[in-house]
Structure 1
Amino acid sequence: MKKIFLIATLVVHIAVLAQEVQFEVRTQKDTYALNEKILLSYFINNNGDNFDPPSFEGFKVEGPSINKGNQSSITIINGKVTSKREIYTQINYFLTPTRKGTITIQPAKIEYEGTIYKSNAVTLRIVDAIQMQRDPNDSMTQVGEGVFLVAEVSKQNPYVNEPVTVVYKVYFDPRYGVNNVRETDNPAYNGFWSQFQDMKNLKAVLAKYNGKDYAMVEWRKVILYPLESGNKKLDPLSITMDVNVPVRRTSPFDDPYQTVSKTISAGARNINVRPLPEKNKPENFNGAVGNYSFKVTPSKKQVKFGESLDVTVEVSGKGNLKLFELPKLVFPTDFDVFEPKHLEEVNTPLSGMIGKISDTYTIVPQSKGKFLIKPFTFSYFDLKTNSYKTIRSQEFLVDVLDGPGVANIASNETQKQDISKQETFQFIKRNTQFEPVNKNNLFGTTMYYAMLLLPLCCIPILFFVKRKTDDYVQDEFGNKTRMNNKLA
């Protein structure tokens, strides 16, 4: 009997050793939303040591939790008894995606009896965050519930270049503490001109959401100007935060709060942008939408010939001031006109752009006379009346004193102006006779030869001076005598 037992034990042991080692990774599915948690489990059908996980780039990682165990089973078929014992190791991670796209998790490594085994790689597709339905009986989902991100859009059907405001608000249970908030998915606002409002000193206030009281924080404010008509999609904004949730303590030493990481999304929004009406659209309309005033003013109305003056065209009011060009001014041909200097003094609060823009032209009159600058026009689309309006500037007269020309009145619609005959341009001679500026030639003169021989005459003088200097230095008796005379 003992012999039979030993043989059976040996067979079972050999079967366990002969079992092929399997190391694999598993997930419940291959597509997850940005705000879903992913359970990633590694399995090895033996005891494993020195587990080496991958980097998990693109995820926030919680874990690991390691479970080791064994399972035995006995099967009896036709009186034949079969015994099977399985050993396993399970390593679990909870992953939270930090970005959208296709992410590949590289293989992990584990050691068993001196041999390194690799798991398979897993590829996951991360899509936009969703509003998930949760199991109310799941204790993991109950912690940190009651946190919402809402995008409030001021207009669903604006015109092109009509301002739209989007305010992102975070609602949470007043009993919770929220910290370490960061944006994980930012909308691009394609098809819009956008500007964020400066959010300083974020402060929670009490507010109602779906009929219930919540603490509310305005997280982001953005002003949008649609640039083209059509159905435009606003990508969702997603944020991740750490929520401190009060929990029931089982002892006085337990932490009264449990910290849970939450990712919430405002969801995508659609805005239907209407085109501006074609009916009654002025020919000079340049895309201005809002409510404006328009004026053209000179820096002075009386100048001397050749003296410059500035003419400023200015549009002020409320609207898409940064998104259109000012009318181009046309002056009489008697003026030299330089490129205008553009200036913007525009603020962009949440209600839309407000301020003024201007172009300043520097002009220089080239003839004498009085020049009438006739009115210029500016057209815009008025959002209050949903109609086009045209404004005309005031005409003004520029009086140029002195200089060539006749003292008549011309305007910026005049193509040519007669100029009286003056002596400004004289007849140009076609036959010229050139004479040298300096007719004296130094070469071959007495001065030329004197300057040429002067350096040669200086050579004997230099030799004589050099010899006298050497004699003076080598005269030891004379030098001692002179030194004694100095000391006496």
Structure 2
Amino acid sequence: MMMMFITGIHADEVRLTASARSVVSVGDRFQLTYTVNTKGGQFSGPEISDFRVLSGPNISTSQNYQVINGKMSASTTVSYIYYLQAFKNGSFEIPPASIEVNGAKIKSKAVSIEVVQSNTVPKTKQGAQTNNNGQAEAVNTGDDVFLKAYVSNRNPYQGEQVVVSYKIFTANVPISDIDIENLASFPGFWATNLITDRQQIEPKQEVIDGTEYLTGELYKAALFPQKSGEINIAAKKLNCTAQVRTQGNRKARDPFFDSFFDDPFFNNQYQNVRIEMESNPIKLNVKPLPIDKKPAGFSGAVGRFSIRASIDNANLLTNDAVTIKLIISGSGNLELINTPEINWPPDFETYEPKITKNIKTTASGVSGSRTFEFLAIPRSAGDFSVGPIELSYFDPATGKYKTVSSEKFEIHVEKGEQSSNSVTYSGVAQEDIMYLGQDIRYIKTGTFVLSNKGQYLFATPLYYMLLTAPVVMLALLSLLIINSRKKKSNVALVRNRKATKVARKNLKIANQFLKSQQREEFYTEVSRALWGYLSDKFNIPLSDLSMDTIRERLSEKNVSEESIDTFIEGLNKCEFARFAPGESTNLMNEIYQGAIMFISRIESELKS
């Protein structure tokens, strides 16, 4: 048997493609589709002014499968679909759209569309190709490619697990670009996907009516019908590209040679065609659960289950916590089972249980376990009985209700300390334990600070100080806010204060380029740091700064000649080194240190 493995499709690059009909009639409604071969990203649509936008962009995500030379691969594509309507004649161009993925911006090509009068656009049937002479050539895949749906049980009970799967079959027909619509939509059912990792799909070979097919299971789910009666699962649509042999129109020849030229060796024209197919619909007759002999505690569990219970401490003191752990395991609608009830004694304070689940999905369906941890605190001493805990469920294999129960727990509680705030516990999920005894306090003993009767704070100097303190603090706060707003409104002052910080930030980036020997980026950042520092520090627009005017403008700001020479020398070295090949790292270090020295010298001159 030939074994095949499915692998993910890794595109060499992210591509955003645009597609639409090239010729439409006035009044026609058509689709404009942008497709990207990866998930995620921020999509920016085009500006559409020459067409009426009816809807969009509508996002559609589809799984893509390919079967080539016996190997199946899978990938995901995202489509952004606009529904447009043409309302005037002419030739129009829709500008490119763009999408940002991982910081990179990718653009599509512009789309050109010609709008003509009605009844002048030729239509081509789906599943047909046009030959070089303009004649349509019929293509037919027959039973070579099809999608088939399987169901494990067509007459289940309400709530019973049913497994449905969808397989694609292909016989000697290479296919690619497989898209399935609404694959996971099952109205009337609670569904769980049984194929969580599509990279593990293993195509197999099957023989149907003497024909060998390559099959791949595209989707498999466990369904739990939520109502009785007839429920229909609609057919799923599948679109794919198939490489099929076409039969063109030929003039009549001599019958002797017809069979010769019709031989596949001489007439093996293959073309890629887009085909559409549907799976078979599925009809289920869901039987209602029997009413007679239904247990009083039945809450909808359907399947085969067992329970196991344990207690963490059966001998404890009052105000200690006790935890009973209940595990329900089996196969069926585990996640739909309600929380079992425990009849605690009235002297126990109870809390909501902590629920954890361990659900396993396999090819045969859903199974696993759910764990309920019930926490309670006894407030009185004595001997108490808890349980047994019961679970009633319906077994579809036997068509009968069954009840399973845990053991009965005997709990001995002794009187603990009288302190109302001494609550201890040893279980789990005790974050909700309440603190009792807040309303009645015991008499306190010890030494206390007492004051003479008749002494009050009112009308004392401290009273008036505390009374005026909020007003004084509010006034100071208002002055600080007004002063801060004035400073922020002074753009020149703000730029002056941030000049050094911005320059050091640019020099830090330049230092990174220095370490990685990126010369062009290094010199650019150094130049940006120096020019930006002078512009911000002395409030000189960048447009007024140049190598010809820098000395004059800095002299007007009372900058020393030595500092001006250092700055001009640093800029000249940057410009020379940027275009001089083969410069060493020593020159880059020298320029970097010179820039730091210039900024430090300017700061020192301004402070003095």
- TM-score when normalising by structure 1: 0.56
1:53-132 to structure 2, matched below 5 A, reads 56-57=30-31, 106=86, 109=89, 118-119=117-118
Matched, 1:212 2:211: yes
How far 1:351 moved relative to its partner?
2.1
Alignment partners' CA distance in 1, 2:176 and 2:142: 13
How far 1:187 moved relative to its partner?
5.8
What residue in structure 2 maps to residue 157 of structure 1?
A: 155
> Could you list the per-position Cα deviations for residues 143-187 of structure 1 after superposition, in whole angstroms to 9, with x for gaps in the alignment?
6762111001111100011111111111112x2211111113436
How far 1:56 moved relative to its partner?
2.1
Matched, 1:284 2:284: no
Alignment partners' CA distance in 2, 1:389 and 1:328: 17
What residue in structure 2 maps to residue 78 of structure 1?
A: none
What residue in structure 1 maps to residue 332 of structure 2?
A: 319
CA contact (8 A) 2:190 2:226 kept: yes
What residue in structure 1 maps to residue 359 of structure 2?
A: 346
Alignment partners' CA distance in 2, 1:442 and 1:258: 102
1:237-316 to structure 2, matched below 5 A, reads 237-245=236-244, 257-316=270-329
What residue in structure 1 maps to residue 178 of structure 2?
A: 181
How far 1:425 moved relative to its partner?
8.5
> Could you list the per-position Cα deviations for residues 222-251 of structure 1 after superposition, in whole angstroms to 9, with x for gaps in the alignment?
11111110100101111111112356999x
Describe the SS at the equivalent of 1:162.
coil
Alignment partners' CA distance in 2, 1:152 and 1:105: 41
Alignment partners' CA distance in 1, 2:117 and 2:246: 41
Alignment partners' CA distance in 2, 1:107 and 1:343: 59
**Matching residue's letter, 1:167:** S
Matched, 1:231 2:214: no
More strand by share: 1
Alignment partners' CA distance in 2, 1:315 and 1:404: 37
Match of 2:190 among 188, 193, 196: 193
Matched, 1:166 2:140: no
What residue in structure 1 maps to residue 407 of structure 2?
A: 394
How far 1:304 moved relative to its partner?
1.9
Distance 1:58 1:347, change over 3 A: farther
**Matching residue's letter, 2:174:** G
CA contact (8 A) 2:139 2:245 kept: no
Describe the SS at the equivalent of 2:362.
coil
What residue in structure 1 maps to residue 49 of structure 2?
A: none
**Matching residue's letter, 1:331:** W
Describe the SS at the equivalent of 1:56.
strand
> Could you list the per-position Cα deviations for residues 211-270 of structure 1 after superposition, in whole angstroms to 9, with x for gaps in the alignment?
4222212111111111110100101111111112356999x9x99642111111103221
What residue in structure 1 maps to residue 145 of structure 2?
A: 147
CA RMSD across the alignment: 4.4
What residue in structure 2 maps to residue 87 of structure 1?
A: none
> Could you list the per-position Cα deviations for residues 356-393 of structure 1 after superposition, in whole angstroms to 9, with x for gaps in the alignment?
11221111111112212242221111122211111222
How far 1:141 moved relative to its partner?
2.7
Alignment partners' CA distance in 2, 1:160 and 1:166: 16
CA contact (8 A) 2:301 2:334 kept: yes
What residue in structure 2 maps to residue 378 of structure 1?
A: 391
Alignment partners' CA distance in 1, 2:148 and 2:276: 13
Alignment partners' CA distance in 2, 1:172 and 1:350: 22
CA contact (8 A) 2:139 2:246 kept: no
CA contact (8 A) 1:106 1:121 kept: no
Describe the SS at the equivalent of 1:200.
helix
Describe the SS at the equivalent of 1:322.
helix
What residue in structure 2 maps to residue 361 of structure 1?
A: 374
CA contact (8 A) 2:161 2:303 kept: no
Alignment partners' CA distance in 1, 2:33 and 2:283: 29
Alignment partners' CA distance in 2, 1:193 and 1:343: 20
Describe the SS at the equivalent of 2:138.
helix
CA contact (8 A) 1:248 1:256 kept: yes
Describe the SS at the equivalent of 2:335.
helix
